[in-house]
Amino acid sequence: MAQDGTRKVYVKSYGCQMNVYDAQRMADVLAPEGYAETADMADADVVVLNTCHIREKAAEKVYSELGRVREVRRDRALDGRETQIVVAGCVAQAEGGEILRRAKGVDLVVGPQSYHRLPGLLEQARRSPGVVDTEFPAAAKFDHLPGASREKTRARGVSAFLTVQEGCDKFCTFCVVPYTRGAEASRPVYAILREAERLAAAGVREVTLLGQNVNAYHGQGPDGAAWTLGALMRRLAEVPGLERLRYTTSHPRDMDAELIAAHRDLPAVMPYLHLPVQSGSDAVLAAMNRRHTRDDYLRLVDQVRAARPDIALSSDFIVGFPGETDADFRDTMDLIERVGFAAAYSFKYSPRPGTPAADMAAQVAEPAMTERLHALQALLDHQLRAFNAATIGRTVDVLVERPGRHPGQLVGKSPYLQAVAFEGRGAAAGDIIPVTVVGTGSYSLLGERADIEPERATA
């Protein structure tokens, strides 16, 4: 604890963007109790591992990291400083007290539904370590999010996440989300608007709407009716100061005509859509309980591109799902070739305890999964490089986020989520600058300002 009585909290998040948002929620709820965030674990009085349970390796990383945290606590104890260890997130929700049995020294295990109780739980764990709180409370799921209170919203930059939906009712056979995050639930429109307005007032220019199945949004509107995500985005596009809207993660079955029309009609909706397909094989999709076919997905892509021709697509792929044959995998590669993705996330299938797929016969051998993953990733990497190269010579609007590596250089985000570095003296974070792309780097695009003459760029 600092001499002024302030405690330090360190939060390390794994997995999805919802966890990044949840990490901010935890810091926000602890701030009024005298906790300040720190980026140095060794400086923290409370260490929170905000976990992901989607894949086995993600869960195993937590137990490995707990060993490191215990070493930090031991070193701090030599100086007379106490350290509380907290496991939060989906691994906490799924495994509960098993974490205490498997990893000695954990003081608190807390699920995503209980973060608003974190200060009291930490105090309880201080008196008696080994507290577990993974119950789904009866209270409304969103009552304790930032926009649900009158506290000032804290912005952490010019881009921000905003939760609009949690949980999932799809029950894909490989996924633990319905068990760790619960059933689909949507925030009311007024609460989302209130938080969006506060974010905009705090300097946020771009908001990404979050949900495990975000396009299943059905929150109550001011007219008493259930609003769709498309209707919500039309209203958010009217918030002064918000220039860009994104959303993630989507399910193809919930991509309705109103949402597609929002891509067509609203300049604030960025031309970038993350639309997971998981596989290009109908047999595998059926075994996954995805409830769409490859042709359904391809038709949907055509509809989206007809509405917004400049849209870029990203997706998720799982290779080696139980029963996947070489022919099934070729169908996935064919789908990737047909669609053409700007980015994608690919993973080997990882059995999660309690999911139907974990008990399926015909589990795919590890060498076959590895070979398929390498081939799939090579194709996706080729498409990513081609997409980036195709932007050379184009002028794109860049939302400035931070200084670059060199004096006068700025780094921002294109509408397609590409990092763009350019000489930008005279611009500042939050500005949206037209930039002509002149080259590609290892991790970003290189550009020149298009709104001023090159020789004036240093003025």
Residues 6+ apart with CB under 8 A from 441: 421
Query: Residue 453 to residues 59, 160, 423, 448: CA-CA distances in angstroms?
Result: 52, 32, 12, 9
**Does residue 90 have a known ligand-binding role?**
yes
Q: Say how far apart CA 429 and CA 139 lie, in whole Å.
A: 39
**Cβ pair 410, 421 in contact under 8 A:** yes
Please report, as a single letter, which amino acid is at residue 311.
Answer: I
CA distances from 437 to 317, 391, 449 (A): 30, 6, 9
30 is in an annotated binding site: no
The reply to whether 16 sits in an annotated binding site is: yes
CA-to-CA separations, 392 to 57, 309, 438, 440, in angstroms, rounded: 37, 18, 5, 8
Residue 52 annotated as binding site: yes
- In total, the chain counts a number of residues equal to 459
According to the annotation, is 187 in a ligand binding site?
Answer: no
Question: Is 285 known as a binding-site position?
Answer: no
Task: Look at residues 71, 21, 84, 28 and name the one whose alpha carbon lies nearest to residue 50.
Answer: 21
Q: Which residues contact 362 (CB under 8 A, 6 or more apart)?
A: 322, 323
- The C-alpha angle 216, 221, 223, rounded to 5 degrees, equals 140
Long-range contacts of residues 66-72, Cβ cutoff 8 Å, at least 24 apart: 66/103, 66/105, 66/106, 69/41, 70/104, 70/105, 72/41, 72/42, 72/44, 72/47
Residues 161 and 21 sit within 8 Å (Cβ to Cβ): yes
The 8-class DSSP code of residue 243 comes to: -
**From the annotation, which residues make up the binding site?**
16, 52, 90, 168, 172, 175
**From the annotation, which residues make up the binding site for [4Fe-4S] cluster?**
16, 52, 90, 168, 172, 175
